[in-house]
Every structure is written in structure tokens, then in C-alpha cells.
Amino acid sequence: MGYVSLILFFPLKLYIDSITLKLSLQSGYWGLLDSQVTTNGILVTLSDFYIVSVALLIIGNKSDKKKSKIILILFLLYNFIMMFLEEEVNI
């Protein structure tokens, strides 16, 4: 179940993050806030379900601690990198 939801929702998250990063580079922080593309509620809400799919993967692999740690580390790395890139661009 976790793999299926990750395959469905992670591409949406990548799409939303790439649009956010592109708009940040082009028009800065205020242009990003004024944009209607990043505030499409349905896409943003669906893209946030990838967090649930990562949690399902970790719970589903609780017997394999090494795999669970790798999934958690990859999830945290992606989020930290995206937060850092968006913050650096918006300054």
C-alpha cells in the first residue's frame, strides 16, 4: 500500500516543488506569494499525501530496521533540501 501511494503522490510533490522553485527563481518571494499556480488546493493537498505514504512504508517495514531508517533518512533529506533551496531563493 505504501509503495502504491508513494508512486501516485510523490510525482505530484515533485511537480509542486519544481513549480515553486521555478517561480522563486523567476519572480522572488512576492511573486511566489501572488502566484495562483502554487495555491491550487487540490494538487497541493494531494501532493501532501506522500507524507502518509512514507509513514506507511516505514510502518510496513518495521521488521527491517535498516530499510526503515533508509526510508526515513531519504524523506528527511528531500524535505531539508527543498526547504533550504526555497529559503535561499526567497531571501
Confidence of residue 37 (pLDDT cuts 50, 70, 90): low
Confidence of residue 91 (pLDDT cuts 50, 70, 90): very low
- Number of structural domains the chain divides into: 1
Residue 89 has pLDDT above 60, yes or no: no
* CA 31, chain centre distance (Å): 21
| Structural domain range at position 68 | 2-90
- Looking at 35-39, 40-44, 60-64, which range is the least confident one? 35-39
Rounded to two decimals, what is the model's pTM?
0.76
Q: Is 32 exposed, middle or buried (0-12, 13-18, 19+ CB in 10 A)?
A: buried
* CA 77, chain centre distance (Å): 11
